Amino acid sequence: MATWLYQVTTECADPSREEEFADWYDHVHFPDLLKAPGFKSAVRYVIKEGLPPRDGIWAEGQGKYLATYEIETDDIEKTWAEAQQYLKSVRAAGRVSPLCKVISRSLWQQVNP
């Protein structure tokens, strides 16, 4: 079974509502997403500000939060399509927060054991 890592960087659309955003992410979004086919774990991080860029390189337009989701599947295209269908139902049920501003998304395949 192949392991994949889906990364999403986000910001809270209204900084005065950070607590509400965090509560939604941890208690609504993560449980919803972990019901999607292949999704095995979810972790959220906040950026450590104040560190200097390394060799003058710092990510432009970087979000404040990083969420990582571990996916296990031998057919990522099928699993991804099934997960997207499931997430459409989550959105239709109104379980996506308007506070969540997505900055970037990426999907990574594990290459070593």
CATH number at residue 66: 3.30.70.100
- Provide the domain limits for residue 31: 2-49+61-106
Burial of 106 (0-12, 13-18, 19+ CB in 10 A): exposed
Residue 9 located in a structural domain: yes
Q: Tens digit of pLDDT for each residue in 67-107?
A: 999 999 999 999 999 999 999 999 999 999 999 999 999 99
- pLDDT exceeds 80 at position 49: no
Phi, psi dihedral angles at 25 (to 5 degrees): -60, -50
Residue 57, token pair as written in the block: 């390189």
Q: What is the pTM of this model?
A: 0.86
Residue 16 located in a structural domain: yes
Place 47 in a pLDDT band, splitting at 50, 70 and 90: confident
